[in-house]
Amino acid sequence: MGLYKEITTEDGIPLQYHRISAMTITTNYENLVEVMSYTTPDARRAEIVAQAIGGIGMTVFKKKYWYSHEYDQSMTIDDAYSWLKTTETVYNSVPNPFFGAEDYQEDWDIPDPPAPAEPANEEPGGGEAE
């Protein structure tokens, strides 16, 4: 799941796809929601595909945002998405760029990772087995 809303960074870079990448709950203090934003949904898809077929991430432009929410021990990731979409301002009345965002349901066809290579049949000490 992710969110779709066109926003622009302070550097002028347009971002469209946003996902919660982490949520930290500090007991009796706060919930910290980390949002990773991408230039397009396809940029996120490219990153996922690169991880699936090569085991490593692809270099795509992404920006992290952190938002503090009052402590709520029962907050789920779905709750955090709802909060981001419906809250106009966050900590210290800072405008929330994700207010009014739409749900974006990924329906990407992600390839299976390649099978591991068969180990060479070698004798101890480096020689080929006969």
Digit-by-digit pLDDT tens for the chain (130 residues) are 899 999 998 889 999 999 999 999 999 999 999 999 999 888 888 888 777 777 665 566 778 888 888 899 999 999 999 999 999 988 777 889 999 999 998 766 655 655 666 766 666 665 555 5
C-alpha pair distances (Å), 47 with each of 53, 55, 60, 89, 104: 10, 10, 7, 30, 17
Q: Structure pTM?
A: 0.73
Residues 129 and 27: their CA atoms lie apart, in Å, by 59
At a CB cut-off of 8 Å and minimum separation 6, what does 40 contact?
A: 16, 17
The whole-number pLDDT of residue 127 equals 57
Tokens found for residue 28: 């009796």
Give the domain ranges of the chain: 2-103
Residue 46: φ, ψ to 5°: -60, -40
The whole-number pLDDT of residue 50 equals 78
The whole-number pLDDT of residue 130 equals 54
Tokens found for residue 59: 């270099």
